[in-house]
A and B are shown apart, each in its own frame.
Chain A
Amino acid sequence: MIPVCRLEDLPQGESVRLDLEPPIAVFNADGELYAIDDTCTHQDASLSEGWLEGCLVECPLHAASFDLRTGRPTCLPARKAVRTHPVSVLDGTVWVHVESDLAAQAPHTAAAGQGSAA
Protein backbone atom coordinates (compact mmCIF):
# COMPACT_ATOMS: atom_id res chain seq x y z
CA MET A 1 0.00 0.00 0.00
CA ILE A 2 1.12 3.50 -0.78
CA PRO A 3 -0.03 6.58 1.14
CA VAL A 4 -1.62 9.22 -1.09
CA CYS A 5 -2.59 12.15 1.12
CA ARG A 6 -4.91 13.13 3.95
CA LEU A 7 -8.56 12.69 2.97
CA GLU A 8 -9.28 16.39 3.60
CA ASP A 9 -6.61 17.25 1.03
CA LEU A 10 -8.57 15.44 -1.68
CA PRO A 11 -11.96 17.19 -1.81
CA GLN A 12 -14.74 16.25 -4.19
CA GLY A 13 -13.95 16.84 -7.84
CA GLU A 14 -10.21 16.88 -7.20
CA SER A 15 -7.40 14.51 -8.06
CA VAL A 16 -3.90 13.61 -6.98
CA ARG A 17 -1.10 12.29 -9.14
CA LEU A 18 1.32 9.77 -7.62
CA ASP A 19 4.71 10.04 -9.23
CA LEU A 20 5.26 6.29 -9.52
CA GLU A 21 6.52 4.37 -12.50
CA PRO A 22 4.02 4.34 -14.13
CA PRO A 23 2.19 7.22 -12.39
CA ILE A 24 -1.19 6.69 -10.75
CA ALA A 25 -4.09 9.14 -10.48
CA VAL A 26 -6.44 9.15 -7.48
CA PHE A 27 -9.82 10.87 -7.84
CA ASN A 28 -12.55 11.96 -5.48
CA ALA A 29 -15.64 11.62 -7.65
CA ASP A 30 -18.63 12.86 -5.66
CA GLY A 31 -17.25 11.36 -2.46
CA GLU A 32 -16.09 8.05 -3.95
CA LEU A 33 -12.36 7.48 -4.28
CA TYR A 34 -10.88 5.81 -7.35
CA ALA A 35 -7.34 5.12 -8.51
CA ILE A 36 -6.30 4.42 -12.09
CA ASP A 37 -3.10 4.56 -14.11
CA ASP A 38 -2.54 8.26 -14.77
CA THR A 39 -1.29 8.11 -18.35
CA CYS A 40 -3.93 8.01 -21.06
CA THR A 41 -3.67 4.79 -23.07
CA HIS A 42 -3.98 6.80 -26.26
CA GLN A 43 -1.16 9.29 -25.93
CA ASP A 44 1.04 10.96 -23.38
CA ALA A 45 -1.34 12.96 -21.23
CA SER A 46 -2.07 13.00 -17.50
CA LEU A 47 -5.60 11.89 -16.62
CA SER A 48 -5.27 13.49 -13.18
CA GLU A 49 -5.51 16.78 -15.09
CA GLY A 50 -8.63 15.59 -16.88
CA TRP A 51 -12.24 16.64 -16.64
CA LEU A 52 -14.17 14.76 -13.97
CA GLU A 53 -17.87 14.17 -14.54
CA GLY A 54 -19.59 11.54 -12.44
CA CYS A 55 -17.54 8.36 -12.70
CA LEU A 56 -15.94 9.42 -15.96
CA VAL A 57 -12.70 11.27 -16.51
CA GLU A 58 -12.01 12.93 -19.84
CA CYS A 59 -8.42 13.13 -21.08
CA PRO A 60 -7.23 16.75 -21.31
CA LEU A 61 -5.49 16.22 -24.65
CA HIS A 62 -7.88 14.36 -26.97
CA ALA A 63 -11.05 13.95 -24.94
CA ALA A 64 -10.83 10.18 -24.58
CA SER A 65 -13.06 9.24 -21.67
CA PHE A 66 -12.47 6.49 -19.06
CA ASP A 67 -14.80 4.91 -16.52
CA LEU A 68 -13.06 5.22 -13.15
CA ARG A 69 -14.79 2.08 -11.86
CA THR A 70 -13.52 -0.23 -14.59
CA GLY A 71 -10.73 1.70 -16.30
CA ARG A 72 -12.40 1.05 -19.63
CA PRO A 73 -12.52 3.74 -22.30
CA THR A 74 -16.03 4.92 -23.11
CA CYS A 75 -15.15 6.58 -26.41
CA LEU A 76 -12.37 7.06 -28.95
CA PRO A 77 -9.56 7.81 -29.39
CA ALA A 78 -8.60 5.56 -26.47
CA ARG A 79 -9.03 1.86 -27.20
CA LYS A 80 -7.24 0.23 -24.29
CA ALA A 81 -8.28 0.30 -20.65
CA VAL A 82 -6.21 1.86 -17.90
CA ARG A 83 -5.55 -0.31 -14.85
CA THR A 84 -7.61 0.35 -11.76
CA HIS A 85 -6.25 0.11 -8.22
CA PRO A 86 -8.14 -0.36 -4.93
CA VAL A 87 -8.26 2.66 -2.61
CA SER A 88 -8.89 2.69 1.11
CA VAL A 89 -9.01 5.28 3.89
CA LEU A 90 -7.34 4.46 7.22
CA ASP A 91 -7.40 6.98 10.06
CA GLY A 92 -8.03 9.82 7.66
CA THR A 93 -5.26 8.86 5.23
CA VAL A 94 -5.93 7.74 1.67
CA TRP A 95 -4.00 4.63 0.58
CA VAL A 96 -3.67 3.01 -2.80
CA HIS A 97 -3.14 -0.73 -3.21
CA VAL A 98 -1.07 -0.77 -6.35
CA GLU A 99 -1.99 -3.73 -8.51
CA SER A 100 0.33 -6.36 -9.90
CA ASP A 101 4.04 -5.96 -10.34
CA LEU A 102 4.19 -2.50 -8.83
CA ALA A 103 3.31 -3.70 -5.36
CA ALA A 104 6.86 -3.97 -4.14
CA GLN A 105 7.99 -0.59 -5.38
CA ALA A 106 8.69 2.19 -2.93
CA PRO A 107 6.73 5.43 -3.31
CA HIS A 108 8.34 8.55 -4.58
CA THR A 109 6.69 11.85 -3.84
CA ALA A 110 2.95 12.01 -3.40
CA ALA A 111 2.19 15.57 -4.37
CA ALA A 112 -1.35 16.55 -3.43
CA GLY A 113 -2.60 18.95 -6.07
CA GLN A 114 -5.59 21.11 -6.67
CA GLY A 115 -6.49 19.53 -9.95
CA SER A 116 -4.12 21.18 -12.34
CA ALA A 117 -0.96 20.37 -10.45
CA ALA A 118 1.88 21.03 -12.87
Chain B
Amino acid sequence: MNTITVIGASLAGLHAALALRAEGYDGRLVIVGEEHHRPYDRPPLSKEFLTGALTAERLSLADAEEIADLDADWLLGTRAEGLDPPSRTVTLTDGRRLSTDGVVLATGAVPRTLPGEPLAGVHTLRTLDDAAALREELSRGQVRVVVIGAGFIGAEVASSCATLGHSVTVVEAAAQPLLPQLGARMAAFCADLHTDHGVTLLTGTGVRALHPDARVPDAHVRGAHVRGAHGAGHRRVGWVELADGRFLPADVVVVGIGVRPATGWLEGSGIPLDDGVVCDAGGVTSVPGVVAVGDVARSAGHRDEHWTSAMEAPAVAARNLLAGTTVETYTALPYFWSDQYGVRLQLAGARAETDTVRVVEGSPEDRSFLAVYEREGATTAVLAANRPRPFMRARRELARAGMVAA
Protein backbone atom coordinates (compact mmCIF):
# COMPACT_ATOMS: atom_id res chain seq x y z
CA MET B 1 0.00 0.00 0.00
CA ASN B 2 1.29 3.43 -0.91
CA THR B 3 -1.37 5.56 0.75
CA ILE B 4 -3.57 4.89 3.77
CA THR B 5 -6.20 7.39 4.83
CA VAL B 6 -7.47 7.46 8.40
CA ILE B 7 -10.84 9.19 8.56
CA GLY B 8 -11.37 10.52 12.05
CA ALA B 9 -8.70 12.17 14.20
CA SER B 10 -9.68 11.18 17.70
CA LEU B 11 -8.51 8.36 20.00
CA ALA B 12 -9.20 5.47 17.62
CA GLY B 13 -7.96 7.26 14.51
CA LEU B 14 -4.74 8.35 16.21
CA HIS B 15 -4.06 4.87 17.54
CA ALA B 16 -4.71 3.36 14.13
CA ALA B 17 -2.13 5.74 12.66
CA LEU B 18 0.37 4.99 15.43
CA ALA B 19 -0.15 1.26 14.96
CA LEU B 20 0.36 1.46 11.18
CA ARG B 21 3.72 3.14 11.72
CA ALA B 22 4.61 0.71 14.51
CA GLU B 23 3.88 -2.14 12.10
CA GLY B 24 6.42 -0.69 9.69
CA TYR B 25 4.09 0.96 7.22
CA ASP B 26 6.19 3.73 5.65
CA GLY B 27 3.91 4.94 2.88
CA ARG B 28 1.84 8.10 2.80
CA LEU B 29 -0.41 8.44 5.82
CA VAL B 30 -3.32 10.91 5.66
CA ILE B 31 -5.45 11.75 8.70
CA VAL B 32 -8.74 13.56 8.13
CA GLY B 33 -10.39 15.28 11.11
CA GLU B 34 -13.61 17.24 11.17
CA GLU B 35 -12.53 19.23 14.21
CA HIS B 36 -9.74 21.76 14.00
CA HIS B 37 -7.99 20.20 16.97
CA ARG B 38 -5.24 17.62 16.99
CA PRO B 39 -6.30 14.40 18.76
CA TYR B 40 -7.36 15.00 22.34
CA ASP B 41 -8.88 12.93 25.11
CA ARG B 42 -12.64 13.19 25.49
CA PRO B 43 -13.39 11.62 28.90
CA PRO B 44 -12.22 14.65 30.94
CA LEU B 45 -14.53 16.98 28.98
CA SER B 46 -17.52 16.22 31.20
CA LYS B 47 -15.39 16.22 34.34
CA GLU B 48 -12.10 18.04 34.99
CA PHE B 49 -12.32 20.20 31.88
CA LEU B 50 -15.84 21.36 32.70
CA THR B 51 -14.96 22.24 36.27
CA GLY B 52 -11.82 24.05 35.15
CA ALA B 53 -9.36 21.67 36.80
CA LEU B 54 -7.85 20.75 33.42
CA THR B 55 -7.00 23.00 30.50
CA ALA B 56 -7.36 22.05 26.84
CA GLU B 57 -3.58 21.67 26.51
CA ARG B 58 -3.61 18.86 29.06
CA LEU B 59 -6.07 16.86 26.95
CA SER B 60 -3.68 16.37 24.06
CA LEU B 61 -3.19 12.72 23.07
CA ALA B 62 0.09 13.29 21.28
CA ASP B 63 2.84 15.86 21.82
CA ALA B 64 4.75 17.68 19.09
CA GLU B 65 7.47 15.05 18.94
CA GLU B 66 4.98 12.20 18.57
CA ILE B 67 3.11 14.11 15.88
CA ALA B 68 6.39 14.67 14.02
CA ASP B 69 7.36 10.99 14.35
CA LEU B 70 4.03 9.96 12.88
CA ASP B 71 4.94 11.76 9.64
CA ALA B 72 1.31 12.11 8.55
CA ASP B 73 -0.56 14.61 6.41
CA TRP B 74 -3.14 16.16 8.71
CA LEU B 75 -6.28 17.44 7.02
CA LEU B 76 -8.12 19.06 9.92
CA GLY B 77 -11.28 21.13 9.89
CA THR B 78 -12.66 19.18 6.96
CA ARG B 79 -14.95 16.21 6.82
CA ALA B 80 -15.11 13.16 4.61
CA GLU B 81 -18.24 13.41 2.54
CA GLY B 82 -18.05 10.25 0.50
CA LEU B 83 -16.11 7.07 -0.10
CA ASP B 84 -16.03 5.27 -3.43
CA PRO B 85 -14.41 1.87 -2.92
CA PRO B 86 -14.12 0.88 -6.61
CA SER B 87 -12.01 3.94 -7.41
CA ARG B 88 -10.47 4.10 -3.93
CA THR B 89 -11.42 7.75 -3.59
CA VAL B 90 -12.38 9.78 -0.54
CA THR B 91 -14.19 13.06 -1.12
CA LEU B 92 -13.91 15.87 1.43
CA THR B 93 -16.40 18.64 2.18
CA ASP B 94 -13.89 21.21 0.96
CA GLY B 95 -14.03 19.58 -2.46
CA ARG B 96 -10.73 17.76 -2.32
CA ARG B 97 -10.56 14.18 -3.59
CA LEU B 98 -8.05 11.79 -2.08
CA SER B 99 -6.81 8.67 -3.81
CA THR B 100 -5.97 6.00 -1.31
CA ASP B 101 -5.14 2.31 -1.17
CA GLY B 102 -6.36 1.65 2.36
CA VAL B 103 -8.98 3.32 4.53
CA VAL B 104 -9.45 3.31 8.31
CA LEU B 105 -12.96 4.42 9.25
CA ALA B 106 -12.79 6.16 12.65
CA THR B 107 -15.48 8.81 12.42
CA GLY B 108 -16.90 8.04 15.87
CA ALA B 109 -20.38 9.05 16.88
CA VAL B 110 -22.48 12.18 17.20
CA PRO B 111 -24.81 13.05 20.07
CA ARG B 112 -28.53 12.54 19.65
CA THR B 113 -30.50 15.75 19.89
CA LEU B 114 -34.10 16.67 20.63
CA PRO B 115 -36.38 17.74 17.81
CA GLY B 116 -37.67 21.28 17.64
CA GLU B 117 -36.44 24.81 17.14
CA PRO B 118 -32.73 25.28 17.89
CA LEU B 119 -32.37 27.33 21.07
CA ALA B 120 -29.39 29.06 22.58
CA GLY B 121 -28.38 27.57 25.91
CA VAL B 122 -29.08 24.01 24.80
CA HIS B 123 -25.96 21.89 24.66
CA THR B 124 -24.72 18.45 23.80
CA LEU B 125 -21.30 17.29 24.95
CA ARG B 126 -19.00 15.39 22.65
CA THR B 127 -16.25 17.66 21.40
CA LEU B 128 -13.82 20.07 22.97
CA ASP B 129 -15.70 22.95 21.37
CA ASP B 130 -18.97 21.62 22.87
CA ALA B 131 -17.37 21.50 26.30
CA ALA B 132 -15.79 24.93 25.97
CA ALA B 133 -19.15 26.45 25.00
CA LEU B 134 -20.87 24.81 27.96
CA ARG B 135 -18.09 25.79 30.33
CA GLU B 136 -18.38 29.38 29.19
CA GLU B 137 -22.10 29.43 29.99
CA LEU B 138 -21.44 27.91 33.39
CA SER B 139 -18.91 30.61 34.24
CA ARG B 140 -21.34 33.54 34.38
CA GLY B 141 -22.69 33.05 37.87
CA GLN B 142 -25.14 30.58 39.27
CA VAL B 143 -27.62 29.21 36.74
CA ARG B 144 -30.40 26.64 36.65
CA VAL B 145 -29.16 23.62 34.71
CA VAL B 146 -31.46 20.88 33.45
CA VAL B 147 -29.65 17.74 32.33
CA ILE B 148 -31.73 15.50 30.09
CA GLY B 149 -30.64 11.88 30.42
CA ALA B 150 -29.06 10.29 33.51
CA GLY B 151 -26.56 8.10 31.67
CA PHE B 152 -22.84 8.35 32.28
CA ILE B 153 -22.39 11.66 30.43
CA GLY B 154 -25.50 13.16 32.03
CA ALA B 155 -24.44 12.09 35.50
CA GLU B 156 -20.92 13.42 35.06
CA VAL B 157 -22.15 16.75 33.73
CA ALA B 158 -24.66 17.03 36.59
CA SER B 159 -21.90 16.25 39.06
CA SER B 160 -19.59 18.88 37.54
CA CYS B 161 -22.37 21.49 37.51
CA ALA B 162 -23.15 20.76 41.16
CA THR B 163 -19.46 21.12 41.98
CA LEU B 164 -19.51 24.54 40.31
CA GLY B 165 -22.41 25.56 42.56
CA HIS B 166 -25.22 25.52 40.05
CA SER B 167 -28.78 24.44 40.69
CA VAL B 168 -29.12 21.12 38.86
CA THR B 169 -32.08 18.97 37.84
CA VAL B 170 -31.62 15.66 36.04
CA VAL B 171 -34.48 14.23 33.97
CA GLU B 172 -34.48 10.54 33.12
CA ALA B 173 -37.14 8.74 31.10
CA ALA B 174 -36.43 5.36 32.68
CA ALA B 175 -37.48 4.52 36.22
CA GLN B 176 -33.88 4.77 37.44
CA PRO B 177 -30.58 6.15 36.16
CA LEU B 178 -28.29 3.66 34.37
CA LEU B 179 -30.90 0.92 34.74
CA PRO B 180 -29.97 -0.99 31.56
CA GLN B 181 -26.26 -0.84 32.37
CA LEU B 182 -26.30 -1.62 36.09
CA GLY B 183 -29.65 -3.14 37.08
CA ALA B 184 -32.10 -1.88 39.69
CA ARG B 185 -30.04 -2.26 42.85
CA MET B 186 -26.93 -0.49 41.61
CA ALA B 187 -29.06 2.05 39.75
CA ALA B 188 -30.51 2.96 43.14
CA PHE B 189 -26.99 3.60 44.38
CA CYS B 190 -26.40 5.97 41.45
CA ALA B 191 -29.71 7.73 42.10
CA ASP B 192 -28.59 8.36 45.68
CA LEU B 193 -25.35 9.93 44.45
CA HIS B 194 -27.39 12.61 42.65
CA THR B 195 -29.72 13.40 45.51
CA ASP B 196 -26.98 13.28 48.16
CA HIS B 197 -25.28 16.15 46.37
CA GLY B 198 -28.32 18.38 46.18
CA VAL B 199 -29.21 17.48 42.61
CA THR B 200 -32.90 16.96 41.87
CA LEU B 201 -33.50 13.68 40.03
CA LEU B 202 -36.77 13.27 38.14
CA THR B 203 -37.21 9.76 36.76
CA GLY B 204 -39.91 7.99 34.80
CA THR B 205 -40.67 10.99 32.67
CA GLY B 206 -39.48 12.00 29.26
CA VAL B 207 -39.17 15.46 27.77
CA ARG B 208 -41.94 16.73 25.54
CA ALA B 209 -40.38 19.96 24.35
CA LEU B 210 -37.96 22.77 25.05
CA HIS B 211 -39.37 26.29 25.06
CA PRO B 212 -37.74 29.68 24.67
CA ASP B 213 -37.63 32.12 27.54
CA ALA B 214 -40.56 34.45 26.95
CA ARG B 215 -38.93 37.10 29.14
CA VAL B 216 -36.27 37.81 26.55
CA PRO B 217 -38.33 37.92 23.37
CA ASP B 218 -35.90 40.24 21.65
CA ALA B 219 -32.90 37.96 22.00
CA HIS B 220 -33.69 36.68 18.57
CA VAL B 221 -33.42 40.17 17.14
CA ARG B 222 -30.51 41.56 19.07
CA GLY B 223 -28.59 38.36 19.64
CA ALA B 224 -27.17 40.08 22.69
CA HIS B 225 -27.63 37.16 25.04
CA VAL B 226 -26.24 34.48 22.85
CA ARG B 227 -22.70 33.87 21.78
CA GLY B 228 -20.63 31.19 20.19
CA ALA B 229 -21.49 28.21 18.07
CA HIS B 230 -24.31 27.16 20.34
CA GLY B 231 -27.10 29.41 19.36
CA ALA B 232 -25.92 32.51 17.56
CA GLY B 233 -29.10 34.11 16.31
CA HIS B 234 -31.38 31.70 18.14
CA ARG B 235 -33.87 32.42 20.89
CA ARG B 236 -32.73 31.41 24.34
CA VAL B 237 -34.08 28.38 26.17
CA GLY B 238 -36.24 29.09 29.21
CA TRP B 239 -38.27 26.01 29.96
CA VAL B 240 -38.18 22.25 29.74
CA GLU B 241 -41.61 20.73 29.33
CA LEU B 242 -41.84 17.18 30.64
CA ALA B 243 -44.03 14.43 29.22
CA ASP B 244 -46.08 14.49 32.43
CA GLY B 245 -46.94 18.16 31.84
CA ARG B 246 -44.56 19.80 34.31
CA PHE B 247 -42.47 22.79 33.25
CA LEU B 248 -38.95 23.18 34.61
CA PRO B 249 -37.27 26.59 34.44
CA ALA B 250 -33.87 26.32 32.77
CA ASP B 251 -31.06 28.72 31.97
CA VAL B 252 -28.89 25.98 30.51
CA VAL B 253 -29.97 22.58 29.16
CA VAL B 254 -27.59 19.70 28.53
CA VAL B 255 -28.93 16.89 26.37
CA GLY B 256 -27.25 13.57 27.16
CA ILE B 257 -29.45 10.99 25.48
CA GLY B 258 -26.86 8.91 23.73
CA VAL B 259 -25.08 8.98 20.41
CA ARG B 260 -25.49 7.57 16.93
CA PRO B 261 -22.55 6.35 14.87
CA ALA B 262 -21.32 8.86 12.27
CA THR B 263 -22.07 6.79 9.17
CA GLY B 264 -24.34 9.12 7.18
CA TRP B 265 -21.53 9.98 4.78
CA LEU B 266 -21.11 6.28 3.91
CA GLU B 267 -24.69 5.76 2.72
CA GLY B 268 -24.57 4.39 -0.81
CA SER B 269 -20.84 3.66 -0.65
CA GLY B 270 -21.31 -0.09 -0.57
CA ILE B 271 -19.83 -0.31 2.94
CA PRO B 272 -22.30 -2.42 4.96
CA LEU B 273 -23.97 -0.31 7.67
CA ASP B 274 -26.17 -1.40 10.58
CA ASP B 275 -25.99 0.92 13.59
CA GLY B 276 -22.35 1.44 12.70
CA VAL B 277 -19.92 0.10 10.14
CA VAL B 278 -20.33 -3.66 10.00
CA CYS B 279 -17.00 -5.39 10.48
CA ASP B 280 -15.59 -8.57 11.99
CA ALA B 281 -13.83 -8.94 15.34
CA GLY B 282 -10.66 -7.72 13.67
CA GLY B 283 -12.24 -4.50 12.39
CA VAL B 284 -12.26 -5.76 8.79
CA THR B 285 -15.24 -4.82 6.62
CA SER B 286 -16.48 -6.81 3.63
CA VAL B 287 -14.94 -4.18 1.34
CA PRO B 288 -11.26 -4.88 0.60
CA GLY B 289 -8.85 -2.33 2.05
CA VAL B 290 -11.38 -0.82 4.47
CA VAL B 291 -11.32 -1.34 8.24
CA ALA B 292 -13.32 0.32 11.02
CA VAL B 293 -12.34 1.22 14.59
CA GLY B 294 -13.73 3.06 17.60
CA ASP B 295 -17.31 4.14 18.28
CA VAL B 296 -18.34 3.86 14.62
CA ALA B 297 -17.41 0.18 14.33
CA ARG B 298 -19.98 -2.53 14.78
CA SER B 299 -17.52 -5.29 15.43
CA ALA B 300 -18.73 -8.91 15.35
CA GLY B 301 -22.28 -7.74 16.04
CA HIS B 302 -21.41 -5.36 18.89
CA ARG B 303 -20.85 -1.62 18.88
CA ASP B 304 -19.44 -0.32 22.12
CA GLU B 305 -18.52 3.24 22.99
CA HIS B 306 -15.66 2.38 25.30
CA TRP B 307 -12.48 4.38 25.54
CA THR B 308 -10.27 1.34 26.16
CA SER B 309 -11.38 -0.56 23.07
CA ALA B 310 -11.07 2.63 20.98
CA MET B 311 -7.44 2.75 22.09
CA GLU B 312 -6.60 -0.95 21.79
CA ALA B 313 -8.61 -2.32 18.86
CA PRO B 314 -6.95 -0.10 16.20
CA ALA B 315 -3.65 -1.97 16.55
CA VAL B 316 -5.45 -5.17 15.56
CA ALA B 317 -7.30 -3.47 12.69
CA ALA B 318 -4.05 -1.93 11.43
CA ARG B 319 -2.34 -5.33 11.26
CA ASN B 320 -5.34 -6.76 9.42
CA LEU B 321 -5.40 -3.85 6.97
CA LEU B 322 -1.74 -4.32 6.14
CA ALA B 323 -2.16 -8.11 5.88
CA GLY B 324 -5.13 -7.72 3.55
CA THR B 325 -7.19 -10.13 5.61
CA THR B 326 -8.18 -10.87 9.20
CA VAL B 327 -5.09 -12.34 10.81
CA GLU B 328 -6.02 -11.26 14.34
CA THR B 329 -9.15 -10.46 16.34
CA TYR B 330 -9.73 -8.15 19.31
CA THR B 331 -11.58 -9.79 22.16
CA ALA B 332 -10.96 -7.74 25.29
CA LEU B 333 -13.31 -7.72 28.24
CA PRO B 334 -15.57 -4.66 28.01
CA TYR B 335 -14.40 -2.03 30.50
CA PHE B 336 -15.87 1.31 31.45
CA TRP B 337 -15.34 3.89 34.15
CA SER B 338 -17.13 7.00 35.30
CA ASP B 339 -16.29 9.68 37.85
CA GLN B 340 -19.30 11.29 39.47
CA TYR B 341 -19.83 13.04 42.81
CA GLY B 342 -16.40 12.02 44.07
CA VAL B 343 -17.05 8.34 43.32
CA ARG B 344 -15.07 6.44 40.73
CA LEU B 345 -17.28 3.74 39.23
CA GLN B 346 -15.59 0.94 37.27
CA LEU B 347 -17.47 -1.73 35.36
CA ALA B 348 -16.01 -4.69 33.49
CA GLY B 349 -17.65 -7.60 31.77
CA ALA B 350 -20.95 -8.22 30.07
CA ARG B 351 -23.97 -8.05 32.34
CA ALA B 352 -27.31 -9.44 31.19
CA GLU B 353 -30.62 -8.13 32.47
CA THR B 354 -31.41 -11.29 34.42
CA ASP B 355 -28.04 -11.48 36.20
CA THR B 356 -28.13 -11.13 39.98
CA VAL B 357 -25.83 -8.73 41.82
CA ARG B 358 -24.02 -9.28 45.10
CA VAL B 359 -21.83 -6.88 47.10
CA VAL B 360 -18.69 -8.79 48.06
CA GLU B 361 -16.63 -6.02 49.68
CA GLY B 362 -17.51 -2.75 51.40
CA SER B 363 -20.97 -1.26 51.17
CA PRO B 364 -22.91 1.16 48.97
CA GLU B 365 -23.71 3.19 52.12
CA ASP B 366 -19.98 3.87 52.54
CA ARG B 367 -19.64 4.79 48.85
CA SER B 368 -16.95 2.15 48.52
CA PHE B 369 -17.70 -1.38 47.42
CA LEU B 370 -17.03 -4.20 44.99
CA ALA B 371 -20.03 -6.01 43.53
CA VAL B 372 -20.25 -8.99 41.21
CA TYR B 373 -22.96 -9.82 38.70
CA GLU B 374 -23.67 -13.52 38.47
CA ARG B 375 -25.52 -16.00 36.29
CA GLU B 376 -25.86 -19.66 37.23
CA GLY B 377 -23.02 -19.35 39.70
CA ALA B 378 -20.58 -17.72 37.27
CA THR B 379 -19.44 -14.10 37.39
CA THR B 380 -20.45 -12.13 34.31
CA ALA B 381 -19.39 -8.62 35.32
CA VAL B 382 -17.82 -6.69 38.19
CA LEU B 383 -18.68 -3.21 39.43
CA ALA B 384 -16.65 -1.16 41.87
CA ALA B 385 -17.11 2.20 43.51
CA ASN B 386 -13.90 3.69 44.92
CA ARG B 387 -12.29 0.25 45.19
CA PRO B 388 -9.61 0.36 42.49
CA ARG B 389 -7.33 -2.43 43.64
CA PRO B 390 -9.97 -5.06 44.42
CA PHE B 391 -11.59 -4.11 41.11
CA MET B 392 -8.33 -4.78 39.23
CA ARG B 393 -8.08 -8.19 40.82
CA ALA B 394 -11.70 -9.04 39.98
CA ARG B 395 -11.34 -7.73 36.44
CA ARG B 396 -8.27 -9.89 35.87
CA GLU B 397 -9.99 -12.96 37.26
CA LEU B 398 -12.98 -12.33 35.05
CA ALA B 399 -10.77 -11.90 32.00
CA ARG B 400 -8.90 -15.09 32.82
CA ALA B 401 -12.15 -17.01 33.23
CA GLY B 402 -13.30 -15.72 29.84
CA MET B 403 -9.83 -16.20 28.30
CA VAL B 404 -9.61 -12.61 27.07
CA ALA B 405 -7.19 -9.77 27.79
CA ALA B 406 -8.04 -7.55 30.77
A residues near B, CB below 8 A? Answer: 43-46, 49-51, 58, 60-63, 76-77, 79, 115-116, 118
Contacts and interface: CB of A to CB of B under 8 A. Distances in A.
Nearest to A114: B389
Interface in B372-388: 386-388
A115 B389 contact: yes
Given A61-B337, A118-B368, A50 B386 contact: no
A77 B66 contact: no
Given A61-B337, A62-B308, A45 B388 contact: yes
Interface in B331-362: 337, 344, 346
Interface string B62-78: 01001000000000000
B41 interface: yes
B311 interface: yes
Determine which residue in B15, B311, B392 has the highest number of CB atoms from chain A within 10 A of its CB, and name it: B392
Contacts of A62: 307-308
Contact of B389 (A51, A63, A76): A51
B41 A116 contact: no
A101 B392 CA distance: 33
A93 B390 CA distance: 28
A61 B388 contact: yes
Contacts of A118: 368, 386
B48 A44 contact: yes
B389 A79 contact: no
A52 B393 CA distance: 11
B391 interface: yes
Counting contact residues on chain B (CB < 8 A from A), the size range is 20 to 34
A46 B388 contact: yes
Contact of B44 (A43, A49, A77, A79): A43
A49 B311 contact: no
Contacts of A76: 15, 311
Contacts of A43: 41, 43-44
B317 to A, nearest CB: 16
Contacts of B63: 79
Contact of A116 (B15, B390, B396): B390
Contacts of A44: 48
A19 B346 CA distance: 24
B92 interface: no
Given A62-B308, A79-B63, A116-B387, A51 B48 contact: no
Determine which residue in A50, A61, A76, A116 has the highest number of CB atoms from chain B within 10 A of its CB, and name it: A116
B406 interface: yes
A14 to B, nearest CB: 10
14 contacts: A43-B43, A43-B44, A45-B388, A46-B388, A51-B392, A51-B393, A60-B391, A60-B392, A61-B337, A61-B346, A62-B308, A76-B311, A77-B311, A118-B386
A77 to B, nearest CB: 6
Contacts of A49: 388-389
Nearest to A49: B388
A45 B388 CA distance: 9
A65 B130 CA distance: 32
Contacts of A115: 389
Given A45-B388, A51-B393, A63-B308, 11 more contacts: A43-B41, A43-B44, A49-B388, A50-B392, A51-B389, A60-B392, A76-B15, A79-B63, A115-B389, A116-B390, A118-B386
A72 B315 CA distance: 22
A10 to B, nearest CB: 15
B349 to A, nearest CB: 15
Smallest CB-CB A-B distances: 9 pairs: A60-B388, A116-B389, A49-B388, A51-B392, A115-B389, A49-B389, A60-B392, A118-B368, A118-B386
A116 B388 CA distance: 7
Nearest to B44: A43
B16 to A, nearest CB: 13
A77 B42 CA distance: 14
Contacts of A46: 388
Determine which residue in A51, A58, A79 has the highest number of CB atoms from chain B within 10 A of its CB, and name it: A51
A98 to B, nearest CB: 24
A43 B368 CA distance: 21
